[in-house]
Amino acid sequence: MKIFLSFFQSQQKHPIPAYSFWEYYIKNGIEEAGHQWVECPDVDWALGRVPQTKQAHIKWKQDAWQKTVSFLKTNPVDLFLSYLYPEQIDGSAVAEIKKTDIPCVNFFCDHIRDFTTLPKEFAVFDLNWVPEYRAVRLYQKAGYPHINLPMPMWVAPQHRVLQPEINSQITFIGSKDIQRHLMFEDIIDQCPDINLAIYGSGWQAAEGSPQPSVPYGLDKKLISQIQQLNKYGLKGYMEKLRARKYTGEISQALQSKIHGVPLAGQYNQLTAGSAITVGVNRYPSYHFPLDKPDTYSRLRDIEAPMLGACYLTEWTEGIEQLYDIENEIETYTTTEDFLQKIEALQNNADKRNQLKANGQKRALNNHSIPVSLNKILCSIGL
């Protein structure tokens, strides 16, 4: 089967959050499933997410979809598979592709973070690949075709072999945000001697002094405040004001646990070889109180078990649909629960090995891209 891909491919590096790994995962997963992927080499899909003027975005959109439709007319495929944000979608172009009997499927993974109501742009697809369990309700309410499947994660075969523990630490790998920071500060406050190791971007201060911000004029400030009120409502706007008190300053106790961004090749080794690998599913949002954050299952919930980690992740609704809790992975809800689970796992090597083996088996057998692709193809009758 030949699959056309629109999955953030780009020949350039753009100033937007990490995106290149999606292309790597999906292409390798398609090949492992025994299918072939094709792409329009002249289209920079990531550019559609780069902040730019309205005119520049319109030009990108017209150019990207014109090239894509033309490419598909001369290079027929069996499936159009994309990862597109609403503003990247040209509904008329997708409809034109569908008229050529090419089913169109879109993956999107930030429904819970970004939307309270689904964008109308998603309605044009034959199927929407929805990884967040709670987002299914949004699709049911909207009446859009959808399928609930895990995040598309692929690990190389050499990393699918269980690795022994190489250290006794509790490892977290991920960029800094306000919710992760506050959580780890609370953990350190309650257990200063915990053998915690934090890796990732944003945790260590960058060299040089921060640049002063450009002051708003009164008119722009009022416009910005009105936009924030419309987006988050009064309650959310008040949470935004409350969050402004957050300085981002890391305590000395937590600073001692930070190790910077992992070196090349170290990421998988740390994930698989640490005594315990931690997942954090809370996220920053003005829709929720700072001290009572919302959660949803992240890519790490698939990746860490696939690599063979002894995985302890933050409980969120639907996680029990992915794993047999306490047998394949372990979960926590509060700081107190986190520390209790950590102590129990540290004192039980057999349990750690059980989670490593069972979690990896479940993730590779049930949550791989080939498995998800097969379910998608069956769902749309291919």
**What's the total number of domains in the chain?**
2
Residue whose C-alpha is closest to residue 151's, from 306, 304, 379, 368: 368
Per residue of the chain (382 residues), give pLDDT as tens.
999 999 999 988 998 888 889 999 999 999 999 999 999 999 999 999 999 999 999 999 999 999 999 999 999 999 999 999 999 999 999 999 999 999 999 999 999 999 999 999 999 999 999 999 999 999 999 999 999 999 999 999 999 999 999 999 999 999 999 999 999 999 999 999 999 999 999 998 653 334 444 444 545 444 544 455 455 555 554 555 555 566 789 999 999 999 999 988 899 999 999 999 999 999 998 888 888 999 999 999 999 999 999 999 999 999 999 999 999 999 999 999 999 999 999 999 999 999 999 999 999 999 999 999 999 999 999 8
**DSSP bridge pairs for 282:** 295
Query: Terminus-to-terminus CA distance in the chain, angstroms?
Result: 9
Query: Do 67 and 121 belong to one domain?
Result: yes
Q: Are residues 165 and 113 in the same domain?
A: no
CB atoms within 10 A of CB 358: 17
Do the Cβ atoms of 310 and 356 come closer than 8 Å?
yes
Q: Are residues 183 and 252 in the same domain?
A: yes
The verdict on 41 and 165 lying in the same domain is no
Q: Are residues 126 and 271 in the same domain?
A: no
Based on the domain organization, do 148 and 167 belong to the same domain? no
294, 326: one domain: yes
Q: How far apart are CA 371 and CA 360, in angstroms?
A: 15
In what side-by-side order are the strands of the sheet with 276-279? 196-199, 170-173, 276-279, 311-314, 330-332
86 DSSP assignment: G
Q: Are strands 311-314 and 330-332 parallel, antiparallel or unpaired?
A: parallel
Domain that holds residue 132: 2-153+368-379
Look at residues 210, 363, 370 and name the one whose alpha carbon lies nearest to residue 301: 363
Say how far apart CA 272 and CA 252 lie, in whole Å. Answer: 28
Question: Cα–Cα distances in Å, from 91 out to 84, 107, 257, 377?
Answer: 12, 15, 48, 22
